[in-house]
Amino acid sequence: ATPTAVMVGTGVAAAHGVLIKGADALERAHKVQTVVFDKTGTLTLGRPAVLEMRCFDPQVSEHEVLELAAAVEHASEHPLAAAVMEYAERVLTGPSRPASAERSRESLDLDREDSLHWGSSAAPSMATTPRFGRRARRTDWIRMVRDAEPNPGKGIKGWVEPGPGYSRPKGLVAQQEHRQVQNGWASLMGFDSNSQQQQQRQPGIPEPREVRVVAGNKHMMADEGMSVPAEVDDYMRKMEDQCCTCVILAIGSTITAVLAISDPIKPEARGVVAALGKRGIACHMVTGDNWRVARAISSQLGIINVMAECLPAAKAARIRELQQGRKLVAMVGDGVNDAPALAAADVGIALGSGTDIALEAAEYVLMRADLEGVLLALDLSRATFNRIR
């Protein structure tokens, strides 16, 4: 192709909201034989909404559970975190919030109705609005989190001071948790946590009141030494078959609640997958979400090749595997978790709504949430480079 053709191609792409970083990128796209899609925020709207929250620990109030969940999720950029924040905000600061901190079950159920409605009808129109706007909203209701630690592809954890709605579990669990806290303080103060010093309270060191809060999937819980009770697992399976992603919430060392979150499929996704198929391009899906949800969604899209429960590195490994035999592979994604795969792919296509790291790792940026941009990018490259062969 002549430099003029490349310029025209790049210009037409830009006019359609597809930014291309350089002529090389435009050229490679016409040889792509495989397109790998991320699920969350790429094939789905990425505006997930909490359908319902189920509490499994009668010791903790639902209000308190939500406050603790919001405290840790506030530190996360994940779309699921935004869903939890929005739900918590609505339930905790909604107009009908009673003066007392404790809310009745009925009022929580009312909110549930509300979120169901929001999830099914209002969500698509929200697709183009930016994610949970922290600055534009009131944030004074959000409790402080200390040492928040996101674990990409798994969840997030941190330390939060519980409110009156939380009673510390008695016995061994409390002891373990207390020791964990003390160890934390001891190492912070430069003591060896295995030495005898941890047995005695250090004068001048306040008793930490914080509790460990973990939000994430089963792998996250396993990493934290918690296994999911059968009752919780049954509930999760039921919701996952309905395309809901479940976020498990653990407080201290107890699995306390599950938030069932639904993220609708983008309206054009099925058509784009079909159109790629017509061009002889194989479509794959990789996701950090679990297999049940992944299968439920891929079957609706007509995507047969699926890999679920992928950590970021596994997504990249999948790309390299598909590149065997010199096939050019494109990756379409939006998240931090997609950045390694976007970088590994021959053609990285990031959604403009995505995380900065993803935008940096990719050579194509789709300024519109619309997946039609993927088709346009590949077609333009073909039009530009097939012409002179």
R_g of the chain, CA atoms, integer Å: 23
Interface with ligand ADP includes 247 (CB under 6 A)? Answer: yes
Of 93-101, 209-217, 274-282, 322-330, the segment contacting ligand ADP by CB under 6 A is 209-217
Interface with ligand ADP includes 319 (CB under 6 A)? Answer: no
User: What letter would DSSP give residue 82?
Assistant: H
Interface with ligand ADP includes 215 (CB under 6 A)? Answer: yes
Interface with Mg ion includes 263 (CB under 5 A)? Answer: no
Q: Could you tell which of Mg ion, ligand ADP, none binds residue 363, using a CB distance below 5 to 8 A set by kind? A: none
Specify the DSSP element, H or E, that contains 146: strand 145-151
Minimal distance in Å, beta carbon 233 to ligand ADP? Answer: 14
Interface with ligand ADP includes 344 (CB under 6 A)? Answer: no
Interface with ligand ADP includes 240 (CB under 6 A)? Answer: no
Pick the closer one to Mg ion by CB: 41 or 155. 41
Q: Could you tell which of ligand ADP, Mg ion, none binds residue 111, using a CB distance below 5 to 8 A set by kind? A: none
CA 123 remoteness from chain centre = 16
Interface with Mg ion includes 152 (CB under 5 A)? Answer: no
Interface with ligand ADP includes 70 (CB under 6 A)? Answer: no
Q: Could you tell which of ligand ADP, Mg ion, none binds residue 86, using a CB distance below 5 to 8 A set by kind? A: none
C-alpha angle with apex 338: 31 to 330, nearest 5 degrees? 5
Interface with ligand ADP includes 355 (CB under 6 A)? Answer: no
Residue from 47, 74, 78, 318 binding ligand ADP (CB under 6 A): 78
**What's the rounded Cα separation, in Å, for the pair 30 and 13?**
14
222 Cβ contact partners less than 8 Å away, ≥ 6 residues apart: none
Pick the closer one to ligand ADP by CB: 35 or 80. 80
19 Cβ contact partners less than 8 Å away, ≥ 6 residues apart: 13, 352, 364, 365, 367
Q: Are 298 and 306 in contact (CB under 8 A)?
A: yes
Which residue has its beta carbon closest to ligand ADP?
Answer: 288
| Amino acid type, 199 | Q
Interface with Mg ion includes 289 (CB under 5 A)? Answer: no
Interface with Mg ion includes 40 (CB under 5 A)? Answer: yes
C-alpha angle with apex 247: 241 to 251, nearest 5 degrees? 140
Residue 122-161 contact track with ligand ADP, rule CB under 6 A, x = bound: -------------------------------xxxx-----
Minimal distance in Å, beta carbon 155 to ligand ADP? Answer: 4
Name 265's bridge partners. 44
**What's the rounded Cα separation, in Å, for the pair 36 and 181?**
43
| Amino acid type, 140 | D
Minimal distance in Å, beta carbon 40 to ligand ADP? Answer: 3
> How many amino acids of this chain bind Mg ion (CB under 5 A)?
5
Interface with ligand ADP includes 264 (CB under 6 A)? Answer: no
Interface with ligand ADP includes 373 (CB under 6 A)? Answer: no
Residue from 40, 61, 262, 353 binding ligand ADP (CB under 6 A): 40
Residue from 162, 169, 252, 288 binding ligand ADP (CB under 6 A): 288
Active site residue 334: no
**Interhelix angle for 269-278 vs 372-386, to 10°?**
30
Q: Report residue 351 as tokens.
A: 């959604």
Q: Could you tell which of Mg ion, ligand ADP, none binds residue 348, using a CB distance below 5 to 8 A set by kind? A: none
**Per-position DSSP letters for 22-71, written without gaps between them:** SHHHHHHGGGEEEEEEEIIIIIB-S--EEEEEEE--TTS-HHHHHHHHHH
Phi, psi of 220 (to 5 degrees): -60, -45
- Among candidate residues 24, 38, 109, 241, the one labeled active-site is 38
Catalytic residues: 38
Contacts with Mg ion by CB under 5 A lie at 38, 40-41, 334-335
Contacts with ligand ADP by CB under 6 A lie at 38-41, 73, 76, 78, 80-81, 153-156, 215-217, 245, 247, 287-289, 335, 337
